Amino acid sequence: MEQEIFVLNAELEARLGRINALRAIDLAITSSLDLPLTLGIVVDQVLSQLEVDAAGILLCSPQMPALEYVVRKGYRDVGAPGYLQRLDEGPAGRAVLVRRTQYVFKPRVVSTAPEESPLPEGFVTYWAVPLTAKGGVKGVLEVGHRSPLTPEPDWLEFLEALARQAAIAIDNAELFGDLHRSTLELSLAYDATIEGWSRAVDLRDHETEGHSRRVTEMTLRLARAMNVAEAEMVHLRRGALLHDIGKIGIPDRILLKPGPLTDDESALMRRHPQYALEMLTPIAFLRPALDIPYGHHEKWDGSGYPRGLRGEQIPLAARMFAAVDIWDALRSDRPYRPAWPMERVLEHLRSLAGTHLDPCVVEAFLAILSSEQPGPR
């Protein structure tokens, strides 16, 4: 009876260890996107729970019909991960091709050569379990032992359970990678479209070459100098590129008029921030970028438009952009005047602090511009 109790306790302890091993792998899968780390945990559990000499995981190579080691532990030949094994060489490749576990108990295995080749690493007992998920083979879980081993059925069941966990981890990593690539491609497409809109507005408004690009780059520099969170930069960039998108709604007879505008024409021109709001609000990913297109004509003293906001009621993005927009306009040649020298631009920006512009923004912007001025010789 004591002997039976001892055996039952040992079996219970082994089952509990295997349950904990599966739980540890589950936690790794759900809490980490680091595939080599997760697969390393799988291999560690294979070695500790199944008490074998060596284990490794190979993934199917997308470039060629081969398997590539990602994790390998317990091998005499340390060999760095990345070593390739052809699918037509050995039981690991056969496990992929036939989609079934390959078991070798003898120290020799049939290969593509006329004569038999011994198992690597001096293994006498060897398993190669295909890692299958959603109908596709992702790789192989390889287990080797250097002495004869006749496992119980539950040993084999646990080996296959570990292989399923590894396959899930690989599939999750692939899904996340595909999602990340799709998101990046979509974001790049969005930004390319925005830049196209920006160039179209510049061309229609006869802005100087590169105006939108220059004010965007400088606004981002100013924002970093004012410790704006990096997460906000993408919205700042989009807003700066689209600062005058509302001018699409202004008739050419007003937008391109060479002389002064009448009161009615000025009133219509001042509607372009409202047009920007109406154009961009329906586009969900551009709503966080609206502060600049809608607010960059507001003034610190409340005399701006379209809402007559005052002081810090004006979004910081719009306050920064307003200063940068003035700088670029004055530093560019126009049909009616040449570009101002930098010293005159700096002085003009100082004069606008507290009326047109936020004094803190002006101070930070002048520090950037002054640092680019050549010092005395």
Task: Determine the distance from the C-alpha atom of residue 284 to the mean position of all C-alpha atoms in its chain, rounded to a whole number.
Answer: 20
Q: Is the peptide bond before 306 cis (omega within 30 degrees of 0)?
A: yes
* Cβ atoms of residues 307 and 317 within 8 Å: no
Q: How far apart are CA 120 and CA 105, in angstroms?
A: 13
- Fill in the amino acid letter for 122: G
Q: How far apart are CA 78 and CA 170, in angstroms?
A: 23
Q: Coil, helix or strand for 173?
A: helix
Cβ-count burial 244-277 (b if 16+ within 10 Å, e if not): bbbbbebeeeebeeeeeeeeebeebbebbbebbb
Our CA angle for 72, 76, 81, nearest 5°, is 30
Q: How far apart are CA 179 and CA 287, in angstroms?
A: 23
- Which residues 6+ apart lie within 8 Å of 291 measured at CB? 235, 239, 315, 316, 317, 318
Out of 73, 106, 138, 247, pick the active-site residue. 247
For residue 353, the 8-state DSSP code is: B
Q: How far apart are CA 245 and CA 296, in angstroms?
A: 12
Tokens of 207: 């802005």
Identify whether 247 is a catalytic site residue: yes
- Which residues 6+ apart lie within 8 Å of 201 measured at CB? 207, 212, 242, 244, 245, 247, 248
Catalytic sites, residue numbers = 247
